Amino acid sequence: MNKKITIKLSQTSSRNYNILIGSNLQNELLKFLRVQKNIRNIVIITDSTVEKLYGEKMVTNLESSLPKAKTILNLFSFPAGEKHKTQSTVSRLQDHMFAQKCGRDTLVIALGGGVVGDVAGYVSATYMRGIPFVQAPTTLLAMVDSSVGGKTGVDTKYGKNMVGAFWQPLAVFADVEMLKTLPKEHIRSGLPEAVKMFVTHDKKMFEYVISNREKILQLDLDVIQKIISRAVELKAGVVIRDETEKNERKVLNFGHTVGHALEKLSNYKLLHGYAVGLGMIVEARISNLLGKLSDTEYELIEKTIVDLGVKTGDIKKFEPKKIISEMSHDKKMQNGEVQMVLLNGIEKVCKKHGKWAHFVESKVIFEALE
Ligand code: NAD
Ligand code: GLY
């Protein structure tokens, strides 16, 4: 059965949106598009891999079902992979849209993983100062995390997601059937972001992941749908309370301070999810070294992440000094200091003086990395 979660961002309904999670959602997307007012152009933005798997099918489906006289349909794609999450990709896509005379009556559909969602979201946020967009995530990572909450943007030579905007989608359609074609390494890479939600917010679901590990890795869609639904429900709560990351939303960066540095140092060969998985192990270890997280809970977190396919040996490929130096470019820095989310326990994020992210001395980070 499909699950619907609503993000309520305003008292009026204008900025609220639904996230639909389920199977075969093409008709739901069509129903949604049919009732959109003042939309003349629909632009599907996707990457080279998803274009062949689902993009062309989506074009055929929409072409045959939407009134021709009313809608002009375009599909634009860019080469798959984090390396293409750049300003030049955004410019190229926007130039295609200008060339096709897409006006402010255009709606963008982001069809793909987190890279497509972040790029297409940023294209939409900045095209003619902002046009509406819809997220149609096709990876596990995008379904559990990136398609929800309105963070959009690109990487620069100075680091991950350094340029971007908060720009909320009009709706999210997460069709779990699409995960059947996703390579296993990308299923595994989506899991750490779900574990992040549960380790910070929901001990029972954290335990559910542990006891259903085999089913998850074998892509049992009932189990996967339950995991996506709960992760999104929890994320929705955080986004509603702190949409633009003034404070509480920082909790969703658990594992990312170290993770982003690793991703960048690997020249984006290390997938985002694995980097976050390694980052969570290091940041949990920091919490443990600071006397906040017990040995037992730290070891359980590490084992869970490793059992889902993250290899701790990968971190040895990077010199601790370089990781710490890379972290100094992180946009989560405050007053020139590295800020981190720390755990007092599973489901217990450290909140001190009303703050959810904290300064950690380099020597402690160094010790944890060692
Ligand atoms: P991705 O978008 O690169 O997708 C991974 C690979 O899978 C790509 O090669 C893609 O072409 C392919 N693919 C996608 N769907 C497929 C399918 N159904 N079948 C077969 N192949 C498919 O990577 P990702 O892991 O989805 O996302 C990572 C990105 O998400 C990072 O850039 C990260 O920074 C971002 N992110 C953003 C947020 C946010 O809140 N905006 C949150 C977390 C992560
Ligand atoms: N993925 C972190 C956030 O959306 O805030």
Distance 190 CA to ligand 1 centre (A): 8
Q: Supply the DSSP symbol for 167.
A: -
Query: Cβ(172)–Cβ(256) under 8 Å?
Result: no
pLDDT tier at 71 (50, 70, 90 boundaries)?
confident
203-251 pLDDT per residue, tens: 999 999 999 999 999 999 999 999 999 999 999 999 999 999 999 999 9
User: Has residue 293 got a pLDDT over 90?
Assistant: yes
pTM of the model: 0.97
Binding site membership of 196 for ligand 2 (Cβ less than 6 Å): no
User: Has residue 336 got a pLDDT over 80?
Assistant: no
Query: In the block, which residue shows the tokens 């972290």?
Result: 327
Ligand 1 neighbours, Cβ below 6 Å, are: 47, 49-50, 53, 80-82, 85, 112-116, 118, 138-139, 141-142, 145-146, 149, 151, 160-161, 178, 181-182, 186, 189, 193, 272-273
Q: What is the pLDDT of residue 329?
A: 77
**Average pLDDT, rounded, for the chain:** 95
Binding site membership of 145 for ligand 2 (Cβ less than 6 Å): yes
Q: Which ligand is nearest to the CA of 235?
A: 2
Instruction: Compute the average pLDDT of residues 69-91.
Output: 94
Query: Which of 59-73, 165-179, 188-202 is least confident?
Result: 59-73
Residues with a known catalytic role:
129, 151, 193, 235, 245, 249, 253, 256, 260, 272
Distance 62 CA to ligand 2 centre (A): 31
- Nearest residue (CA) to ligand 2, atom 5: 252
User: Has residue 139 got a pLDDT over 90?
Assistant: yes
User: Has residue 349 got a pLDDT over 90?
Assistant: yes
Q: What is the pLDDT of residue 335?
A: 72
pLDDT tier at 68 (50, 70, 90 boundaries)?
confident
User: Has residue 332 got a pLDDT over 90?
Assistant: no
Where are any strands of DSSP class E within the chain? 3-7, 17-22, 41-47, 72-78, 106-112, 133-137, 151-156, 159-166, 171-175, 339-340, 343-345, 348-349, 358-359
Binding site membership of 285 for ligand 2 (Cβ less than 6 Å): no
Distance 237 CA to ligand 2 centre (A): 12
Query: What backbone torsions phi and psi does residue 283 show, to the nearest 5 degrees?
Result: -70, -30
pLDDT tier at 85 (50, 70, 90 boundaries)?
very high
User: Has residue 70 got a pLDDT over 90?
Assistant: no
Q: What is the pLDDT of residue 11?
A: 79
Q: Which ligand is nearest to the CA of 161?
A: 1
pLDDT tier at 292 (50, 70, 90 boundaries)?
very high
